Amino acid sequence: MTNLGIDIGSTTTKGVILSNDGLLLNSLITPTGSSPVLAASNLIAELSKECTPSKIYATGYGRGLVSNADKRITEITCHGAGVNSIYQDACAIIDIGGQDSKAIHLGNDGSVVDFAMNDKCAAGTGSFLDNIAHKFNISYDSMLDLYLSSDKRVNINSTCVVFAESEIIGLLAKGESMSNIFKGVLRAISMRISRLYSQVKIPHESSKVYFTGGVAKNIAMQEALKEELNAEIIVDSNAQFMGAIGAAHLARRDTIKER
Ligand code: ADP
């Protein structure tokens, strides 16, 4: 018996397959591109090659498009289930994807107690960071060095990417260093995330935050969040797959229940 979870995000589509005893057998990722249906069906076909899954659960903004899904579940529930399947004591999650960001508070049993989400505006998401990085030719690999070499606080006040770009051009023209500006960009994103985080009322004694979504792979962003939240930031090696992992675990739980 295997179970499959698929997460159709705005930027990437992720799929995982779990074994009978809940082990991660395979995980695949592909850009969602202009056809979320095609991205999802290709991943499902590839992951089902060796063994037809008992159930397919879908999550992500495109979950409604997966016609052969047995169930469609929100990303919030799935990120919660994914993190809880690996870290049973987790109580706080921050998920930053391509187009949205979320703070999630989990109860002792791993269920979602509360959440706050930003999906109306790109500020505080991966696409805000990607746009700025692209415009100013900053690679993912160079971000941590830039962040760490900053020696002065510079505030970026614009939250819209177009205005932020002009603000950065203005600062560069005044002789401000790219590292100080870049740290300012990451601080601005972290401050938005921190506002979401404070809305979900995580208990004070909890100082561990589980960071999921593609942006969790960004080490400079991990550092910026650590500084802003004054918390330990934990990033699983499968952080970007956490929604798909959660969907697959929920599928497995239901498959077992029905036996
Ligand atoms: P979604 O589920 O919304 O499609 P993801 O959770 O897959 O989004 O996250 C996509 C974002 O992850 C990208 O916009 C990018 O900012 C970030 N990202 C992806 N890979 C990396 C990487 N190797 N290093 C840093 N950031 C990354």
The 10s digit of each residue's pLDDT in 193-234 is: 999 999 998 887 778 999 999 999 999 999 999 999 999 999
Q: Which amino acid is it at 250?
A: L
Atom 9, ligand 1: residue with shortest CA distance:
214
Query: Taking 90 as the threshold, does the pLDDT of residue 253 lie above it?
Result: yes
pLDDT digits (tens, 9 = 90+) for 50-107: 999 999 999 999 999 999 999 999 999 999 999 999 999 999 999 999 999 999 999 9
pLDDT digits (tens, 9 = 90+) for 131-175: 999 999 999 999 999 999 999 999 999 888 889 999 999 999 999
For residue 103, CA distances in Å to 43, 191, 195, 244 come to 28, 13, 9, 18
Ligand 1 site residues, Cβ closer than 6 angstroms: 9-12, 97-99, 126-127, 129-130, 140, 213-215, 217-218, 240
CA angle 86–197–9, rounded 5-degree value:
60
- Between the CA of 175 and the centroid of ligand 1 the distance, in Å, is 31
Enclosing H/E stretch for 148: helix 140-148
Helix 242-258 vs helix 75-86: angle between axes, to the nearest 10 degrees? 80
Q: Which of 215, 217, 235, 241 to mutate to test the pocket of ligand 1 (most atoms within 8 A of CB)?
A: 215
- Contact (CB, 8 A) for 43 and 58: no
pLDDT digits (tens, 9 = 90+) for 94-122: 999 999 999 999 998 889 999 999 977 88
> What secondary structure letter does DSSP report for 201?
-
- Contact (CB, 8 A) for 247 and 43: no
In whole numbers, what is the pLDDT of the chain averaged over residues? 95
- Contact (CB, 8 A) for 97 and 9: yes
Atom 2, ligand 1: residue with shortest CA distance:
9
- Between the CA of 152 and the centroid of ligand 1 the distance, in Å, is 28
Give backbone dihedrals phi and psi of 67, rounded to 5 degrees, phi first: -70, -30
